[in-house]
Structure 1
Amino acid sequence: MLRSYAIGDIHGQLARLQAAHALVAADRARVGDDTAPLVHLGDYVDRGPDSRGVLDYLVQGLAAGENWVLLRGNHDAVMRDFLGSDVADADVAGWLSGRFGGRETLASYGITAAADGGTAALRRRARDAVPAAQRALLDALAPFHHRGEVFFCHAGIRPGVPLDAQDEQDLIWIRGEFLDDRRDHGALIVHGHTPVDRVEHHGNRVDLDTGAGYGGPVSAVVIEGRDVVLLTPGGRMPVPPGRAGD
């Protein structure tokens, strides 16, 4: 039976990410498994106070050889695009809106979004401030990870489309069409993107976004076959289908 670990949306919450990693490390020690990958479901940046710290922490961990898989979330994609050269002003405005959280990300690099000079100057300042290793990380994030009976992605899948033919825009943005579909998708879909109060197992999918961008925790689970277990300071807590984890 394949074992995988997974962590939900982070949104600039470095301390909460580190706490989730500590739970994974403790479980690894209990079961004696250093080989199972730890899949991060994306949305490392925006809304929280330390997006720069989160990206730096991930860069350092990968450089040290941590067995991590990093997936792309929609917030990560928008930040990557903002740092690129072909981003429309409307897209920049969306990232900098209070709802999306780009202002908090820029602030973690010491950049005030309201500074004089307009969009072009703001983009130049951001390119200068974001280290090359972090930009390379944003470029290299994977759209999905398929392992055994589990398909990991940020937002979900387009129902009815083969898993190996999914469009990346769906993988990082989809909601209603996926969330409302109760069919088996051929694999257990483990995703984030849509905040919930507690980890939810719906039989065909598992939602790990427990609202770190809004003050909630960064949740970590271990998945063995299609069995999902929430990792807590007190140990493992099963999350059976149809019931949210406490």
Structure 2
Amino acid sequence: MRSYAIGDIHGHLEQVHAAHALIAADRASCGDTEAPIVHLGDLVDRGPNSNGVIQFLMEGQARGENWVVLRGNHDRMFLGFLNDPAAQDPILSSHVTYLNPRVGGEATLQSYGIPDAFSRPLSEIAPLLGAVPQSHRDWLASQPAYHLRGETLFVHAGIRPGVDLHDQVEDDLLWIREPFLSDPRDHGVLVVHGHTNIQAATHYGNRLNLDSGAGYGHPISTAVIEGRDAWLLTPEGRAPLTPHRASK
């Protein structure tokens, strides 16, 4: 059972186009036009064109592309800010707001034509949020937190080890690091995730991390998964992602 996966995007529309081009080339080489493409969340923040990323993915799903788009913690923070600019995601430290440069929300608002959000009072920003179309808000809110397909679980951040999938909570699915990252146990499926940026896509045996740091200026990682085997897609073709021991 073949699936494609694209790691954290963070507003980089040109890289999303490049990732889809790599998948198209792999589809042509293996003759598979049906395998889904799963986007692992964090569509927005830090990068220059979150608006364009959302529009591109919306339009693809609307025309019937077999695309799954998961909700990431940055996508949840963006929605929360739109609903109430003074609210804060409960997982964030109390001193870190959505517009803090560490989060990167200012870049997302800039892509909708709302400039200099970090340096302006919320009372000035709130009336401008109508620039974000309701269709974008509704679409983001409708995206799932995980996708299970055969032996593979796709999720933004990971899972709480030892907890049944149906009992997992969204805070973990979108935010978890430990104890997930260092847990060496077989989870019953290969967990394909992003959220924790690393130097390069890495297969740990029980999980596959595809967040290669697009939010910090590095390339997006794109992979093809068949059972529990995975390959990184490159302009030269498939590069095997050989499992390492589970670790950070």
| TM-score normalised by L of structure 1 | 0.93
What is the distance in 2 between the residues matched to 1:6 and 1:96? 29
Alignment partner, residue 30 of structure 2 = 31
Q: Distance in 2 between matches of 1:155 and 1:85?
A: 24
Query: Match of 1:178?
Result: 180
Give, in whole Å, the separation in 2 of the partners of 1:154 and 1:33.
Answer: 25
The residue type paired with residue 123 of structure 1 is: A
Could you tell me which residue of structure 2 aligns to residue 8 of structure 1? 7
User: Is residue 167 from structure 1 mapped to residue 166 from structure 2 by the alignment?
Assistant: no
Q: Give the CA deviation at 1:7.
A: 0.4
Deviations 1:98-119 (A, max 9, x none): 1000011111111121575x32
- Equivalent pairs counted in the alignment come to 240
- Larger proportion of helix: 1
The answer to whether the 8 Å contact 1:208/1:219 transfers is yes
Shift of the alpha carbon at 1:212?
0.4
Asked if the contact 1:94–1:100 (Cα under 8 Å) also holds between the matched residues in 2, the reply is: yes
Check whether the contact 2:85–2:126 (CA below 8 A) recurs between aligned residues: no
RMSD over equivalenced CA pairs, Å: 1.8
The CA deviation at 1:123 is 2.6
Gaps of 5+ in 1: none
Which residue does the alignment assign to 1:18? 17
Corresponding residue number in structure 2 for 1:74 = 73
| Cα distance between partner residues in 2 of 1:160 and 1:240 | 25
Distance 1:114 1:214, change over 3 A: closer
What is the Cα deviation at residue 158 of structure 1?
Answer: 0.3
Does the 8 Å contact 1:115/1:122 carry over to 2? no
2:96 is the counterpart of 1:97: no
- Show the counterpart of 2:206: 204
| 1:133-174 deviation digits (Å, cap 9, x = unpaired) | 211121111010011001110000000101222111100000
> How does 1:1-246 map onto structure 2 within 5 Å?
2-85=1-84, 88=87, 94-112=97-115, 113-114=117-118, 118-126=121-129, 128-242=130-244
Q: Is the 8 A contact 2:230 2:241 kept in 1?
A: yes
* SS of equivalent to 2:97: helix
* Secondary structure class of the residue paired with 1:178: coil
* Whole-angstrom CA distance in 2 between matches of 1:181 and 1:89: 29
CA distance in 1, matches of 2:105, 2:230: 33
3-state secondary structure, aligned to 2:212: coil
CA contact (8 A) 1:89 1:119 kept: no
Quote the offset at 1:120 in angstroms.
Answer: 4.3
CA distance in 2, matches of 1:74, 1:96: 14
What percentage of residue pairs aligned between the two structures are identical? Answer: 55
Separation in structure 2 between the aligned mates of residue 79 and residue 14 of structure 1, nearest angstrom? 17
Deviation at 1:124, TM superposition (A): 2.9
Query: Structure 2: how far apart are the matches of 1:15 and 1:209?
Result: 17
The CA deviation at 1:33 is: 1.1
CA contact (8 A) 2:100 2:118 kept: no
AA matched with 1:214: Y
Greater Cα shift, 201-210 or 105-114: 105-114
Provide, for residues 69-90 of structure 1, a one-character-per-residue CA deviation record: whole Å limited to 9, x for no partner.
Answer: 0000000000011111485268
Matching residue's letter, 1:142? P
Ranges in structure 2 where 5+ consecutive residues have no aligned partner: none
